[in-house]
Structure 1
Amino acid sequence: MHSNINIETQIRSLTKLLDDLRNGILQIPPFQRDFVWERDAIKDLFDSIRNNYPIGSILLWKPKTRQPWQTLKKVGSFELPTNKEQTVYLLDGYQRLSSLFGCLTNPLKSGLTYDKEEYSIFYNLYFDLEDEVFVYLRYNTPLPYQVPVHILMSTSDFRQYSRKYIEPYCDPNILDTYLDRADAFSRSLIDYKLAVIEISDADLSDAVNIFSRINSKGTDISFDWMVNALSYSENFNFAYEIDSLKEELTIFNFDTISRNNIFRCYQSAFDDKLYIDQTNIEALAKRSDFSKVVRNTTPCIKKAVEFLYKELNVVEYKLLPYNIQLVFIMTFFKYLPQPNIKQINDLKKWFWVTTYSNYFTIYSLSNQRQAFSTFISYLKGNSNEIIYYDNKNTPFKTMPLPESIILSAVRSKALILFELMHYRECSKNAPSINGLTLHKIYSMRKNSPENIIPSYSTDEGKKLMYYNNIWNSNYDDEFAFRYFLPQCTSIADIDTFLSHRKKKLIEAERDFTHKLGLNYTEIEKNG
């Protein structure tokens, strides 16, 4: 980092920031994420300002030289003018300033080009003087006590608006109250101040690095934001690559995967190293082959997710035992885009062993990296071993059967995935898959493994949700085998029924994990 970089914290008025945007002095760099706030978030923001609550600091970057970007982000549906003399870029605070600028700019007087449809949806906000709340109109015509918030930024504008739309239609007995409320909020807007941190005389990499340091203990900053800022060009936008990928993963119920976990897949695709953090992000973003490798890696990530979904029953992202497993499986398809049956079976075995053995929990980071190296050696055809063992004479062992099914626990996920695998193998026809359903056999009991039946969110899976007292119902042997259910004709109470089902689950898991070369632990513990 250069020694002549200047970082200054100032207190600026909201009106000054909005004026800088309106005059093109403050611009939005093209690598900023798109506007994603919903209307409730915008209303909450204005409510905070009305109550004079802090809304967080704003981070600006003033570079030494003008940047070569041809396309800049719009703000609150408005296209900003360019300012050739001086430009400051907004690094943090885009959602907030876009909301404020969009709502507080009068589209009929600004002279700025804007998206009318977007404006009407998000930024045509009114202040209700009756209830003192912020509203979006249900109908096109506001009530006399509903005022566009942008009108309240100007005393003269509000005076004209009041004479035309409020005073002729309001009860004189309450008119003064309305005007006092409007005046109070108007003063809140005009007097409102924010903390602004301005970085000057820094290049982009320094500014991004400072941003990440500032946010290290505050608002989360995704790794891809930093990389996108450093790698952005008119022909490549890393953030859009991730957005598009997440959209494509929706069909596999993986759209909730975090951007950082996707980023780690891309990160590990460059030099066959396992990355757990943001190590060497700047060098990565500046590689000449960055965009090419990213675009080549995207299909491998999609294949990995499809494999998890179709072959291993990870029918929702929340069922993935370890995020790091996605990095390994992505790498598998990077090296073996058309794997043979043996390679597919080896990968399945690797997945089950690493899941049941608590592999990525018991192994240190150095061992995990050694495991990745062993995995790649197998993919390159240099070894027949796909699984790394730190001591081949000591087999891995499973964690005990959990006392309660908790979807955040790896052991619970392992059991659910095993039961889904068994369910699919027992089905005469391949079941359609649409997410996960967890059915409780007896509602008055806890979420113990024996009391929970996982299934797909299919018609049959949904029927289980309406199977009251399944333990006391008539079902055939095929149904019983599919869900590890005991024959209930000889069982008199629910406790005995659940005890029998628990034994069946343990026996089935033990047989399965023994075939994987694991020692099965039968001591009951929390998990």
Structure 2
Amino acid sequence: MKNQIQVKPQVNRLINLLQLIEDGKFKIPTFQRDFVWEDKQKIDLFDSISHEYPIGSVLLWRPKEVYSNNYQIGPYTIESYDSAEFYYILDGYQRLSTLFGCLTNPSKTHLECNEFLRIRKFNMVYDLVDEAFLIKRSNQLEVTCIPVYKLVDTYEFLDFIDQLRIDLKNDENIDTYITRAKKLSSTIIDYQIPSIEIIGGKISEAVEIFSRVNSKGIEISPDWMLSALSSNEETGFNLGEIFSNLLEDLKEYNFDGLKREILVQCIQNSFGKVYFDQTLELLVKRHDFQKVTLKTVESVKHAIKFLFEELLVIDKKLLPYGSQLIFLVHFFNHVEKPSDVQKEKLKQWFWITTYANYFTIYSLSKIREAYLQFNKFIDDETVSPVYYHNKKQKFTTADLPKSVSSGSVRSKAFQLFLLNTSNDFKKLDSNDVAGYKIEYLFKGRRSHSSYLPFIHFKNTYGSNKYPSVDISFKNEINVASKINFKSGGLNRKEDIDYYLIERLKYIVEKEKVFVDGLGISYQKISL
């Protein structure tokens, strides 16, 4: 019962929290997100502590029931103890992993340590000269760099100071360095971290409390919440692990950086209503939740393979809308082997929704209508998957931004148009693709007129199995139709400017013909 749950705020010294972790008093549930912090985030954390800034609360939970555990925290493996006096880390895992991994003395702990991982990710030092935290990939350090774990170990710290005096006996700054080290040591040892302890209740109740706490500043993500709510010890269902495996599989398509929130929305969208009308807490209570989720995960792979091969969305960064993937996943949930007619209509739907800014111009109520229209197409391939609020009024393209790196939907449409045109809008075999690269015809010219997308292929050594050249204007004007990236043959600024303007004109005319064929009004580009 909820009235049996206790919520207690606490304040602990950082070094006491580290000792509790080493003693096995904190556990990491398997539904917890893997450690993902990069060096900058770890350095920023220590920098905040050194300035005595708050780093946020950690959320701890002592449940009635026991979940399977992940015993890895930082580079160390925490031993399992059969004790009722332990807490699960619900929020703060990234921070605590960083602190424990960096501040634990590897030569004094009884815990098993992955030394390779420790050196690679947790070998944090403080440079007394530059007054900066650094991650070092080696144990060979400058004499003025102190490993941060020595700052919280009295004996190690005194030994370091003694050695520093010997090594820098003739350095006039020695006293300054020692003062800096002492101040930092004292700051970290005395640093306090607030925590919120939830005692009792089920995971759903803990998540509800977590959500309320979140309004006061603690981060919570939809994928974490769904993973926590759906974790099942009996069946071994672990959504966090499923997502991690999926993203690993998507590396083949350069989609491993896909946000987990979109994966959650794909799942939400698979239960009969559009994703933003689905409540996570209600979905996980459905008897078919696990079955539909596993099916959806497979459909994500099919949808991304379709985007990659049929539309040359060969990198996550080229996907105009996350909603396009969500809708495609919904399609593949119902149609495992689409017909040629369905494929062509899906491709047309993709291009229309991209050039028309479909998921931007439509309100949520209109997106609901679009979802229903898309479902009609799933049931009957003769139906158009595109929803038109007003069939008498054409969609219109947006203005093309000046920079190709703007990340706008319109810019992505332009990039995808070039890629598909260079391949004559034919299907690509993902097994042949080795990578994707953006080049520019002239150094320092990052405009659309100079933009050149390239696909690299396996075992072809630069051959044009799939042409990866730009749309060029052949013999329409009196300049070279093909030039190298260093502007061979075009040396004067005036010639280059003229070439780029004419090239963009040519591309615009080709793009206009394509967009007109989609039934969309083409917004002329200012040259």
Which string of whole-angstrom CA distances, capped at 9 and with x for unpartnered residues, describes residues 322-370 of structure 1? Answer: 1111112122222221122112111112112222222222222122122
Count of equivalent residues: 500
Cα distance, 1:190 vs. partner?
1.6
Aligned partners of 2:516 and 2:522 also within 8 Å: no
Select the residue among 461, 474, 489 that pairs with 2:480: 474
The aligned residue for residue 73 of structure 2 is: 75
Q: Find the aligned partners of 2:433 and 2:231 in 1 and give their Cα distance.
A: 41
SS in 2 for 1:28: strand
Tell me the TM-score normalized by structure 1: 0.82
Unaligned runs of 5+ in 2: 457-461, 484-489
The yes-or-no answer on 1:257 pairing with 2:255 is: no
| Residue 506 of structure 1: how far off its partner (Å) | 4.4
Match of 2:330 in 1: 331
CA contact (8 A) 2:436 2:454 kept: yes
1:61 touches 1:90 (CA, 8 Å); kept in 2? yes
Are the structure 2 counterparts of residues 344 and 85 from structure 1 closer, same or farther at C-alpha, using a change threshold of 3 Å? closer
| Alignment partners' CA distance in 2, 1:40 and 1:503 | 43
Q: How far apart are 1:187 and its partner, in Å?
A: 1.4
Residue pair 2:119, 2:137 contacting (<8 A) in 1 also: no
**What is the identity, as a one-letter code, of the residue corresponding to 1:513?**
V
Give the deviation of 1:115 after TM superposition. 2.8
C-alpha distance in 1, partners of 2:229/2:508? 52
1:138 deviates by 6.0
Alpha-carbon distance change, 82 to 317 in structure 1, aligned in 2, over 3 angstroms: same
Q: Corresponding residue for 1:236?
A: 237
State the 1:91 CA deviation. 1.4
Correspondence for 1:118: 117
> What secondary structure is seen at the aligned counterpart in 1 of 2:423?
helix
Q: Secondary structure at the match of 2:400?
A: coil
**C-alpha distance after superposition, 1:3-38 (max 9, x if no partner):** 564444333211222232233333222221122233
Distance 1:52 1:423, change over 3 A: same
Structure 1 match to 2:344? 345
Name the amino acid aligned to 1:69.
Y
| 1:483 corresponds to | none
- Could you tell me which residue of structure 1 aligns to residue 181 of structure 2? 182
Cα distance, 1:372 vs. partner?
1.6
How well do the aligned residues superpose, as a CA RMSD in angstroms? 3.7
Q: Answer with 70-79 or 333-342: which moved more.
A: 70-79
- The match for 2:316 is 317
Q: CA separation in 2, counterparts of 1:37 and 1:318?
A: 21
1:109 partner SS? coil
Q: Deviations over 1:244-275 (max 9, x none)?
A: 22222222222222111122112212x23211
Equivalent-residue separation in structure 2 for 1:356 and 1:40 (angstroms): 37
Question: Matched residues in 1 for 2:103 and 2:505: separation?
Answer: 66
Deviations 1:135-175 (A, max 9, x none): 55565455555444333324345346656x55555528766
Aligned-pair CA distance for 1:206: 2.3
Counterpart Cα distance in 2 of 1:59 and 1:357: 44
2:293 paired residue number: 294
C-alpha deviation, 1:281, in angstroms: 0.7
| Deviates further, 331-340 or 424-433 | 424-433
SS in 2 for 1:59: strand
The more displaced of 34-43 and 175-184 is 175-184
Deviation at 1:225, TM superposition (A): 0.9
Letter in 2 for 1:171: K
3-state DSSP class of the match of 1:425? coil
Q: Any conservation in 1 of the 2:356–2:398 contact (CA below 8 Å)? A: no
Aligned residue number for residue 459 of structure 2: none
| 1:485 aligned residue | none
Tell me by how many angstroms 1:44 deviates: 3.5
Aligned AA (1:230): L
Identity of aligned residues (%): 37
Say whether the 8 Å CA contact 2:28–2:69 is kept in structure 1.
Answer: no
Per-residue CA distance 1:443-486 (angstroms, 9 max, x = gap): 66x83x5x244432445788879xxxx987423xxx69xxxxxx
List gaps (5 residues or longer) in structure 1: 481-487
2:127, 2:133 within 8 Å by CA — same for their partners in 1?
Answer: yes
Distance 1:144 1:429 in 2: 55
Which sits farther off after the overlay, 499-508 or 326-335?
499-508
- SS of equivalent to 2:373: helix
Q: Could you tell me which residue of structure 2 aligns to residue 60 of structure 1?
A: 60
SS at match of 1:36: coil
Q: Which amino acid aligns with 1:348?
A: K
Alignment of 1:507-518 (within 5 A): 507-516=509-518, 518=519
Tell me if the contact between 1:14 and 1:194 (Cα under 8 Å) persists in the aligned partners. Answer: yes
> Greater CA deviation, 454-463 or 503-512?
454-463
Q: Deviations over 1:383-436 (max 9, x none)?
A: 6332223334x1532225525354422223223322322221189999957325
Structural mapping, 1:371-386, within 5 Å: 371-381=370-380, 384-386=383-385
Matched, 1:389 2:388: yes
SS at match of 2:453: strand
State the shift of 1:129 in Å. Answer: 4.5
- The alpha carbon displacement at 1:116 in A equals 3.2
Q: Does residue 30 of structure 2 align to residue 24 of structure 1?
A: no
* CA positional deviation for 1:82: 2.4
Q: 1:224·1:260 contact (CA, 8 Å) conserved in 2?
A: yes
SS at match of 2:60: strand
- Determine if contact 1:471/1:494 at 8 Å carries over to the other structure: no
* CA spacing shift, 1:99–1:139, aligned 2, 3 Å: closer
